[in-house]
Structure 1
Amino acid sequence: MLSNGYILILIWIGVLGALTVMAPEWIYRTEFVNGEKVRRVTPLFAVVAVLPLVIWAGFRGNVGDTGAYMEAFADMPASLSGINGYMAGQEKDRGFYFVSAVIKCIVGNRDTIYFIIVAMIQCFLLFKLYRKYSTSFVVSFFLFIASTDYISWIFNGMRQFLAVTITVACFPWILEKKYVRAIIGIVIASLFHQSALLVLPFVFIVQGKAWNKKTLLFIIVVIAAVMFADRFTNILDTMLAETQYKNVVTDWESWQDDGTNILRVMVYSIPAILSLFGIKYIREADDSVINICSNMSIAAAGLYVVSMFTSGIFIGRLPIYFSLYSYILLPWEINRMFTKRSAQLIYIVMVVAYLGFYLYSLRSMGTF
């Protein structure tokens, strides 16, 4: 049976969308972003918009890995004096466990409050990005929900998603080419989940215009990885031999992981594909935010394609570091690549298609 929450969050986004149309003078304000005068939703509206999701994260029930996180939280010390001994027993992702232990020392053995605090941090870092850089905050919010990313990450893989959102917080430094700050931020994120180190080379790869030589080279590497999947997995196994993911290849083969669902790959590739067809509009705008988001989206699509032929459980968890930027890119593409009348039709098609994908994904997860 489909939980009311999964439908109510969609209704809530519908209400937000209606408010932006009926009372724009209350919702929007003018500010400067990346040197341009733009219209953005107010910080108060963004907080109110995301608050139900944050609260729901604390009362989500036993979704995905929630049970494992509850057990881990129960094993954490209840006083600051016990943290040193506890941390001595942690071999990986020590940043996450340290922060979690500190939270427990503050809130006690109340895992609901713990989940809310973690979700609050994640949502603050992510939706701060959308409020500042998205031409349509509500559309970006809708895409994050309808893609089921909130279930997969806020409700499930929250340790990795905390690392993801820390790398997202580094976006302004990536945009301004303040590489030292960005690298330090990403290294800090890797303390929460080591996979965040994957973002380091992309700090440089995504720079420049959309679909530049660096991104085209990345696509060639993706094609090679797909064509020679067996050799790719052997190389990956060797590269991960001395890390916490040393058994990744063995695990996905023993679990008969047949890769990411092709429908999910197609859905997450739409913004990158549109950026190729609409490259003229992106080049004319020459917006550094959109250029980088386009290249991030290409990276996400490429990794998803590789995961389709290798592992959905492991490789399929990596594109999240890049796919979140697609929710900035897609509304921009619709607004700039189409006439006003056509854009309205495209938005209707987008909403219907994503809702279909949302219900399909929930059914696949066994939610209803």
Structure 2
Amino acid sequence: MVNERVKDMTLTNYWWLLIWLVVIGGVLAIVAPKSTVQVLGKTEYRWSWPAVILLACPYAVWCMNRSNFGDTEVYRTTFLNAPAVISQIPMYLAEHTKDKGFSVLMILIKSVVGNSDKLFFLIIAVFQIFCVVYFFRKFSTSFLLCMFMFVASTDYLSWMFNGMRQFIAVCITLLCFGLALKKKYIFAVCLILIAATIHGSALLMLPILFVVQGKAWNKRTILMMAGVGVAILFMNQFTTILDTMLAETQYSDLMTNEIWTNDNGTNIFRMLFYSIPAILSLIGKRFVDEENSAVINMCVNCSICTALMYLLSVFSSGIYIGRLPIYTTLQGYVAVPWLIDHMFTKESARLVKMVLICGFLAFFYYQMHLTWGII
């Protein structure tokens, strides 16, 4: 009976994404006991795991029961047509050469759950939501606000309902954050290389891993800004260089295919929206420098990378370049509540958070109603 109820939990009213978060999350924030975590040797008070799991569970179940959203049917068909026997992996990989890690993962899951596409989606969703909540719980001063930004920005729908394969890679690289803070680069690089077998775009995190080190707004981030500026000014030459770099990869036809040539780039409104953490950090740079927190420094630098990649996608491709900033977007969310609490007085911080929440709600409505037309 319980299993049937879980299967029937199909998301038909997308407002429930926010209603659950606000109502249940608000109650848990008040009544759930806090627990301690160690962040770079410092004791921090965070949500307890039972409260985190309770809040996150429906988001995994809704992913399991999704249908006809984005690439869902493509993933479903691919899974149903894949072999269910591990010994057939070499034969399958010989025919499917793109992102072999995902193919192996899919067959391994199918060998356990059989032909149940719902269980396949559930296992992937549980892993993804665990990585997200683990990251927010450990490194954010406001777990609930970060979850709200993740859901209200429609990142949850865009990636866990749609770009599932790339988001698996994103979640694996998200686990590198703590390793990078402790300068365990060998382990971090190994994780990134594993993520790249799931989705090749994860290789982007190799240079970013070192760009985001050090103080916020350091010389490396400024150099990256200059590089993006040059790429925009010389877009034709930039696309030629990118085409040459991709010549021997699975993305060799990227610059000439119909999707790229007909792509008008990312909407500038979207670019400005996702640049909020970077803009806020620039305004409050003095507070960031005074605190000199390794976590906040890295999160701020990640937010700069997000803003720059979105800026580049405005002038190039929203479909291809515009999908890359997700690798550093969630880190920027972590910086936001810290910046607000340190830049403003207690009373002003409440007001700023309310304005921020209203802004994210407006974006949610814009994306869900005007862009996607699903509410």
* TM-score with structure 2 setting the length: 0.94
**In the TM superposition, what whole-angstrom CA distance separates every residue of 1:223-275 from its partner, at most 9, and x where no partner exists?**
11111111111111111111111111212566510001111101100000111
Equivalent residue letter for 1:97? S
Look up the match of 2:166. 160
5+ unaligned residues in a row in structure 1: which ranges? none
| Distance (Å, rounded) in 1 between the aligned partners of 2:14 and 2:367 | 12
Look up the match of 1:247. 253
| Distance (Å, rounded) in 2 between the aligned partners of 1:95 and 1:291 | 32
Superposition pairs of residues 292-307 of structure 1, within 5 angstroms? 292-307=298-313
Is the counterpart of residue 13 in structure 1 residue 21 in structure 2?
Answer: yes
Q: Give the Å deviation of 1:114.
A: 0.6
Which one of 86, 89, 93 corresponds to residue 80 of structure 1? 86
Q: Secondary structure at the match of 2:14?
A: helix
Look up the match of 2:175. 169
CA, structure 1 residues 235+224, in 2 after alignment: closer, same or farther (shift >3 Å)?
same
Look up the match of 2:198. 192
Equivalent residue letter for 1:292? M
| Distance (Å, rounded) in 2 between the aligned partners of 1:199 and 1:341 | 38
Q: Secondary structure at the match of 2:69?
A: coil
**In the TM superposition, what whole-angstrom CA distance separates every residue of 1:282-335 from its partner, at most 9, and x where no partner exists?**
011110000000001100100000000000000001111111111101111111
Equivalent residue letter for 1:186? I
> Equivalent pairs: percent with the same residue?
46
**In the TM superposition, what whole-angstrom CA distance separates every residue of 1:189-235 from its partner, at most 9, and x where no partner exists?**
10101110111011111110000011000000011111111111111
Is the counterpart of residue 40 in structure 1 residue 40 in structure 2?
Answer: no
Is the counterpart of residue 106 in structure 1 residue 105 in structure 2?
Answer: no
Q: Give the Å deviation of 1:21.
A: 4.7
Which one of 349, 358, 365 corresponds to residue 359 of structure 1? 365
Residue pair 2:136, 2:143 contacting (<8 A) in 1 also: yes
More deviation, 10-19/153-162: 10-19
Residue pair 1:252, 1:311 contacting (<8 A) in 2 also: no
More deviation, 297-306/331-340: 331-340
Q: Give the Å deviation of 1:14.
A: 0.6
Q: Secondary structure at the match of 1:62?
A: coil
Residue pair 2:71, 2:163 contacting (<8 A) in 1 also: yes
Residue pair 1:294, 1:326 contacting (<8 A) in 2 also: yes
Equivalent residue letter for 1:283? D
Superposition pairs of residues 248-263 of structure 1, within 5 angstroms? 248-251=254-257, 255-263=261-269
Equivalent residue letter for 1:176? K
Which one of 92, 99, 112 corresponds to residue 98 of structure 2? 92
| Distance (Å, rounded) in 2 between the aligned partners of 1:294 and 1:223 | 20
Look up the match of 1:335. 341
| Distance (Å, rounded) in 1 between the aligned partners of 2:227 and 2:66 | 39
Aligned residues: 364
Q: Secondary structure at the match of 2:36?
A: strand
Q: Secondary structure at the match of 2:198?
A: coil
